[in-house]
Amino acid sequence: MEMDWKTNMAELGGAFMVSWLVLGEMGDDGNMLMAGLLLAVTMAAMAGAHVLPMFTWISAMTGDLQDTDAWMGNVMRLVMQMVGAGAALALAGEGTVEAATEAPEMWAFDLWPMLTMLAAGAIIATVASRCDGWLTAFAVVALAGAGALGAGVTGADGMAAELMGGGAIPEMLSHWIVDGVVIGLGAMLGGMLEDQL
């Protein structure tokens, strides 16, 4: 498999913008409308990039699951998202990055958050398939504000913080992967439902 550096750099730049601009707006008492606009601008500027780990997982889960080149491409996208988020965290923290305040419990299973993420994945896939790409940004921000996406939006940011701050890497990694897969499965189920309608 040959490296697609153009895509990798778009992922790095998109994750940098999301971590520095969008997640800052979504923080405590953040302006969700501004976060939606910033995410829409990021998605438009980095056309072709997934920008968020959630979209990479959706792509992986709704694509050909047997295609190893696609899986390797998606793994590279996730790595570049983490590098971009880490660069933004380092810049914002003036070279100092702290680990997340409290790492989530590793491999914790809670039925309702999982079902919520499945539904959110189906909603995002439906919006993305029926609307212009920039409108998907508002659905993502609304679902993130409702707490329906777990580490789907903040996964690259959280992983970068844990790696650079010496935190609870296995715990954050488990949520980054499990939340992404659950959202991807929701998108896959949403696509199957839409095919039946």
Query: Mind listing the pLDDT tens digit of every residue in the chain (197 residues)?
Result: 677 889 999 999 999 999 888 887 776 677 888 888 999 999 989 888 999 999 999 999 888 878 888 889 999 999 999 999 989 888 877 766 665 545 566 556 678 888 999 999 999 989 988 888 778 999 998 898 888 888 778 888 888 888 887 677 888 888 888 888 999 999 999 888 878 87
Q: Are 100 and 167 in contact (CB under 8 A)?
A: yes
Residue 134: which of 43, 15, 32 has the closest Cα? 43
CATH superfamily, domain at 5-196: Glycerol uptake facilitator protein. (1.20.1080.10)
Main-chain dihedrals φ then ψ at residue 193, nearest 5 degrees: -65, -45
Structure tokens at 77: 């996208």
Domain boundary assignment for the chain? 5-196
Q: Give the contacts of 15 (CB within 8 A, at least 6 positions apart).
A: 51, 52, 80, 81, 82, 83, 84, 85, 88, 156, 157
**pLDDT tens digits, 35-79:** 889 999 999 898 889 999 999 999 998 888 788 888 899 999 999
Please tell me the predicted confidence (pLDDT) of residue 133: 78
Helix 111-130 and helix 53-62, axial crossing angle in degrees, nearest 10: 80
